[in-house]
Structure 1
């Protein structure tokens, strides 16, 4: 009988412990949802806030990346243009000297100036060859149709033997470097 009493008491204690643990679980479950619901709501708000911030930073990153790519492309184009037209400033400075060489070469040749004119002619050819190697070209004018992009009309004449709007005479040579006009040709144009 004593064994039954001890066993019964143990069973009663276990039942009381089970009831107490069930009660504490119920209490915890009731308290957890109310605290957890507030915390979950706060966490959702924080998560939404962080998501928005992340999206804003990502968009800012994309804009910065696009600006950098555009800058890189622009820099490459500027370097290519600088390399392509590197001789332009020098050619512009030398054009008056070339004009003077051409005027000097138009002098009548006689025995007293023959050697001097040959020397001037050699220097002139070397100068022109050096500039041509850098992309300098003369603008063809006489007999061509007037183009305001490459010609500068100084005088208009009436010549019935020529078509209208055609260059009659070149007063000063024009030059291009690659495809850029560095000095338009000064011309007489037929009406």
Structure 2
């Protein structure tokens, strides 16, 4: 006698087999999606290497420029300390010439005249050598007071000059390149307003 009644276990096994077959394509798709495209991977690696190369080139160029600038600064400012000491000697010669009385220059004594001429020649030669190595005087008289280049020693009441104008130089200042070796010691105008006319409401105390 044939038993047409299906066993539950057989039906469950058939269903599981069907589901397994149905899920196989999805698993293949997921596996394919998880595997990176070798061409895209190579493109990404190539882009990364290119970026690193460009950064390295830029860094090397910056280093080259910085090194050139440092070498240039060293050449320009290496004698700054020596030049500053030379200025002290030059000042001494200038002061020696300033204190000489006028009659000494006109003296009939050949020795005195030769001594004065020798001092003057030495001062000029020292100034020439300083200029040859880039040490130049700072413009001061008639200029607007600049605290980076000038050192104010006193104020001069002068209503005819704009306020803050350098009207007297006590000691010349010098610079080497863009650096100040020493500021110029100056007297600065006071009381002239912004354009040189007496400031409104001020009183000229020099009268």
TM-score (norm 2): 0.61
Whole-Å Cα distance in 2 between the matches of residues 52 and 139 of structure 1? 59
* Superimposed CA distance per residue, residues 1-51 of structure 1 (whole angstroms, 9 cap, x where no aligned partner): xxxxxxxxxxxxxxxxxxxxxxxxxxxxxxxxxxxx9xx889846665555
Who is 1:13 aligned against?
A: none
Who is 2:188 aligned against?
A: 189
How far did 1:71 drift?
A: 0.6
Greater shift, 58-67 or 153-162, is seen at: 153-162
Q: Larger Cα Rg: Structure 1 or Structure 2?
A: 1
Whole-Å Cα distance in 2 between the matches of residues 139 and 52 of structure 1? 59
Whole-Å Cα distance in 1 between the matches of residues 178 and 119 of structure 2? 29
Are residues 1:94 and 2:86 paired? yes
Structure 2 unaligned residues grouped into runs of 5+: 1-28, 191-207
How far did 1:85 drift?
A: 3.9
Whole-Å Cα distance in 2 between the matches of residues 95 and 184 of structure 1? 12
How far did 1:53 drift?
A: 4.1
CA RMSD of aligned residues (A): 3.0
Who is 2:156 aligned against?
A: 157
The verdict on how the C-alpha distance between 1:61 and 1:161 changes in structure 2, with shifts beyond 3 A counting, is closer
Whole-Å Cα distance in 2 between the matches of residues 56 and 163 of structure 1? 63
Who is 1:125 aligned against?
A: 124
Structure 1 unaligned residues grouped into runs of 5+: 1-36
TM-score (norm 1): 0.65
How far did 1:166 drift?
A: 1.8
Who is 1:172 aligned against?
A: 171
The verdict on how the C-alpha distance between 1:46 and 1:143 changes in structure 2, with shifts beyond 3 A counting, is closer
SS of residue paired to 1:164: coil
How far did 1:148 drift?
A: 2.5
Are residues 1:58 and 2:50 paired? yes
The alignment of Structure 1 onto Structure 2 pairs a total of residues equal to 155
Whole-Å Cα distance in 2 between the matches of residues 159 and 55 of structure 1? 71
* Superimposed CA distance per residue, residues 127-182 of structure 1 (whole angstroms, 9 cap, x where no aligned partner): 11111122222223233332223211121232345442222221211012244332
How far did 1:187 drift?
A: 0.6
Whole-Å Cα distance in 1 between the matches of residues 100 and 123 of structure 2? 17
The verdict on how the C-alpha distance between 1:52 and 1:145 changes in structure 2, with shifts beyond 3 A counting, is closer
SS of residue paired to 2:167: strand
**Counterpart among 60, 75, 99 of residue 83 in structure 1:** 75
Who is 1:24 aligned against?
A: none
